[in-house]
Structure 1
Amino acid sequence: MKKVLAVALSVTMGLSLMACSNNSSSKSSTGAEKASSTASTVKSKTSSTAENGTELKGDIEYWSSWSETEAQALALREAADEFTKANPGVKINFTFNGRDNRNLVGSAVAAGTKITMMDANADNIKSMWSDMTMDLTPFFEKTYASTDGKKYVDRIMPSMSGLSASLFDGKYSYFPYAPQAFMIFCNKNIFDECGITKYPETWAELMDACEKIKAKGYIPVTTDNGYATSWVGYYLSRLLGNEEVEKLSNDPKAWSNPKVLEAAKAIEEMAKKGYFDPVIETNTYPNAQQSMVINEKIAMYINGTWLPNEVSESTPENFKWGSFAFPTVEGGVDDQTAGCYSSYGIAINKTATAEEAEAAAAFGVYVTTAFDQKFSDSANAIPVSVDGVWPDSLKDAQQVMAKYTKRYPSQTSLILNSNSKQIIADACLKLMGGSITAEKFVEMASKF
């Protein structure tokens, strides 16, 4: 069931964390192929009723952002199989579009195609489907057979339910699943060998760790053209805050802020001390992450919680993943509670009938509660339920995400403007590669 997820590196606002680049042609299949438990067990976990006490009914058309053979798609099918066996009045038909789903749903609905449910990155739901999604707040406040007598909203991670509401002015507009976040991932074996027993919390501690790693003959930090803005972007975000960094992506004049040069000099110092991968300027995605696990000579890489899954097929058995939040910087305004986090989400089309909405919502709840752990285990993903068990490779990431309260966009706000992000990214790579000074970096990055 382990599938490599190829991550898309450009998505509107927020976590492209959540999107992947390998597109797939549209394919359909029903969610009624095999059961994983007895009918009586399925019935007790999945059967539900509509508001008026009648059995759930409805023909549900679910358009998904997963590709037909991905572990996530297979898990959704299995969930639908269990759900429909317990609720025979409900039929669920899937259309697995791959990552093109976010673009295809709108035009299909406009053309009159029936779509009851659809999933995508939370930020894509906001940016591309806002006008067609149903307010799910009443369903978040209900109890279900799979919520152990509690309201649904109390059974999922507060950060994930909170994001569902905050993106839509306080109204819950999608059922969150497969949470993800950005942070620093590390080879824990290297940290152990170098005597780094505590994850760095400050910039000074991080630099001390880099020196210890280099002294042992390892490369402290790598990245590639796909994540080029991360190190500079996170330093600037810690130092200035998200709103000021967003100005940098939109206004060349904002780069005259002396704090920007201060941040650039910190990264320049890392380059001078040899803390960055020697090939960082020419590293193309996914070379950095593959080199990290195959060669086992690289200690750190800023990436998303999908990383261990992406490289699982090439990761040695004894490789130990660690992760921690980007450290605080001297004089900064943000601490380690700020970071990039989001999830996929399951939305319901506002044109669904009341009967269809009840059935679709019950299925969305089931996927993200009773089936949540099985989904996570099958897809090597993060569970969204409050009592979910995380994969071993993401145990440290669980602690990081639990502390996030302030949300950055994907790779920070430096990449929010499509007209400037490539210019800024190129400058970041040159700065980390040591081919330009901090002053030249500011000059180069602001020419858009």
Structure 2
Amino acid sequence: MTAHLSRRSLLGLAGAGAGAYLLSACSGDEKSSDPNAPQTINWWHIQNTEPMLPVWAAMANEYKTAHSNVTFTIQPLENEAFKAKLTTATQAGDPPDLFQSWGGGVLKQQVDAGLVKDLTDDLKDLVGGILPAAMQPYTIDGKIYGIPFDIGMVGFWYNKDLFTQAGITEPPTTWAGLLQAVGKLKTAGITPVAIAGKDKWPAHFYWSYLAMRIGGVGALQKAVDDKNFDTPELAAAGERLKELVDLQPFQKGFLGAEYGSPDGQAATMGNGKAAMELMGQWAPAVQGSSSTSKKGIGDKLGFFPFPAVDGGKGTATEVFGGGNGFAVGKDAPAATIDFLKFLLSVDNQRRSAKTGAVLPTVKEATDAISDPNNKVVAETLAKNTGFQLYLDQAYAPALGQQINDSVAEIIAGKKAPAAILKDITQVAKTV
């Protein structure tokens, strides 16, 4: 895939505790090519909280009931735990049979190592019904190595009541306006922004978006192509981010906060303890599952795109984000691909969409988007004029991790914006 995607319309186009769930037992040759042989599908995913955790479990049970020779070992994992465990498994050459993938540079590395199946022929009929741009991160050198079940974008989720209390009548449309809103919230005694400083990846959203707004959607792609991130546009992105950091907008203890833990970023928003978070389309669902009430803030929640930067080449219609999907391990049993088709059926995509945690990728299922906030995200996507995949997935893993680490240093006040560009460039030259 390419890191920079162009998406002109949506139709041209996801936690806390986890464990391993064994759905009955089986014996026999699990890797047999015979579709009727006893098979166990080892499935890892990151939908480890309500509402999707029970939905995935139910779908596996339904499939198992209809296929008596198939059983499942399911491991729902928190995002960072998943990445760490998958890295260990792939380095050992033993990937799970079915596993979460965001596509991009990480998937390409797995492809190059021969760890995942080429799904081009097996899923050609299914692919025809999927939003084309959603497939791009999973298409490498013209072949398909994964299937997306969700597509969306990162933007600001905000508490309408807290904005009103601070005298903010409209969501900001410029970076200067956002900084002014932060000032008003602080004056009103309200925590402006929730962030998961420990997890790092949420912080890279800010720097990435600022780079796009200042340099245009192609600035980040040019940096990786040139193996040079030490550019005026990216330096300016860091300086703008430092403007926000200097206002001390984040919740108390943010540097130790995780995203989905009971006292983390999503819970801070879901419990009404902060006014904003910059997060993807799954935010309302995770806010709800992480909150004390398990419901979040309901109709108090709103969404607005990342603001424009005065004088920048980019526009607020260029979006940053991606989707969630699945790849199939090299030694997966024969039933794995059939089960993947089952997960991506129109009916099951509609079931997923109705939870509010998934924006479906199957064209016929997009009519099931009922959550008002998801509708806003879909409408914003439909108007986009450019798209950038999450950098920690678009790029080679080492480069993506360095960006996360470097942006975290700005957030923590440990390193100047200009200094991180030299660190990132150094890694870019080695991948």
Partner of 1:29: 23
Match of 2:62 among 58, 79, 82: 82
**Which ranges of structure 1 fall in alignment gaps of 5 or more residues?**
1-12, 33-55, 143-151
Alignment of 1:204-215 (within 5 A): 204-207=176-179, 209-210=181-182, 213-214=185-186
Once the two structures are superposed, the pairs formed by residues 97-112 of structure 1 within 5 Å of their partners are: 97=75, 98=77, 99=82, 102-103=86-87, 106=90
Residue 411 of structure 2 aligns to a residue whose secondary structure is: helix
Relative to the length of structure 2, the TM-score reads 0.68
CA distance in 2, matches of 1:140, 1:417: 29
The answer as to whether partners of 2:110 and 2:116 remain within 8 angstroms in 1 is: no
Question: How far is 1:126 from its partner?
Answer: 3.8
Residue-by-residue CA offset, 1:324-356 (whole Å, 9 max, x unaligned): 221222333333343333333233455668xx3
- Quote the offset at 1:21 in angstroms: 8.1
The letter for the 2-side match of 1:277 is F
Q: For 1:343, which of 291, 300, 323 is the aligned residue?
A: 323
Identical columns (%) = 19
Query: Structure 2 counterpart of 1:136, which letter?
Result: L
Please tell me whether the aligned partners of residues 122 and 342 of structure 1 are also in contact (alpha carbons under 8 angstroms).
yes
1:61 aligns with 2:45: no
**1:326 counterpart residue number:** 306
How far did 1:239 drift?
Answer: 1.3
Deviations 1:185-208 (A, max 9, x none): 211223455665654443344345
| One-letter amino acid of the counterpart of residue 208, structure 2 | G
Matched with 1:35 is none
Q: Which residue of 2 aligns with 1:290?
A: 267
> For the Cα contact (< 8 Å) 1:31–1:92, is it kept in 2?
no
Do the aligned partners of residues 217 and 288 (structure 1) sit closer, same or farther apart at CA in structure 2, a change above 3 Å counting? same
User: Counterpart of 2:147?
Assistant: 175
Match of 2:158 in 1: 186
Q: Secondary structure at the match of 1:65?
A: strand
Paired residues of 1:341 and 1:407 also in contact (CA < 8 A):
yes
How many residues align structurally?
Answer: 377
Counterpart contact for 1:261–1:442, Cα < 8 Å: yes
Task: Confirm whether residue 121 of structure 1 aligns to residue 101 of structure 2.
Answer: yes
Structure 1 contact 180–382 (Cα < 8 Å) conserved? yes
8 Å CA contact 2:207–2:407 kept in 1: the answer is no
Equivalent pair of 2:147/2:325 in contact (CA under 8 Å): yes
Q: CA deviation at 1:118?
A: 0.9
Other-structure match for 2:209: 234
Alpha-carbon shift at residue 235 of structure 1 (Å): 1.1
Per-residue Cα deviation, 1:43-74 (whole angstroms, up to 9, x for no partner): xxxxxxxxxxxxx8565432211389755454
| Residue of structure 1 equivalent to 2:405 | 422
Runs of 4+ in structure 1 off by over 6 angstroms are 246-253, 411-415
Residue pair 1:213, 1:220 contacting (<8 A) in 2 also? yes
Inter-CA distance 281–376: structure 2 relative to 1 (3 Å threshold): closer
Change over 3 Å in CA distance of 1:390–1:140 after alignment to 2: farther
Shift of residue 391, structure 1, vs aligned partner: 3.7
Q: Distance in 2 between matches of 1:443 and 1:348?
A: 39
What is the CA–CA distance in structure 1 between the aligned matches of 2:207 and 2:47, rounded to whole Å? Answer: 37
Q: Is structure 2 residue 132 aligned with structure 1 residue 158?
A: yes
Q: In the superposition, relative to structure 1, how do residues 249 and 425 fare at CA in structure 2: closer, same or farther (>3 Å)?
A: farther
TM-score normalised per structure 1? 0.66
Other-structure match for 2:11: none
Unpaired runs of 5+ residues, structure 2, are 5-13, 27-34, 427-431
**Shift in alpha-carbon separation, 1:135–1:70, aligned structure 2, 3 A:** same
Q: Would the aligned equivalents of 1:176 and 1:345 in 2 still touch at CA under 8 Å? A: yes
Q: Which secondary structure state, in structure 2, belongs to the residue aligned with residue 163 of structure 1? A: helix
CA distance in 2, matches of 1:252, 1:425: 21
Distance in 1, matches of 2:327 and 2:377, equals 26
Q: How far, CA to CA, are the matches of 1:422 and 1:347 in structure 2?
A: 26
Equivalence for 2:367: 387
1:246 and 1:185 map into 2 onto residues whose CA distance is 27
**Which residue of 340, 349, 360 corresponds with 1:372?**
349
User: Partners in 2 of 1:82 and 1:352 — Cα distance?
Assistant: 20
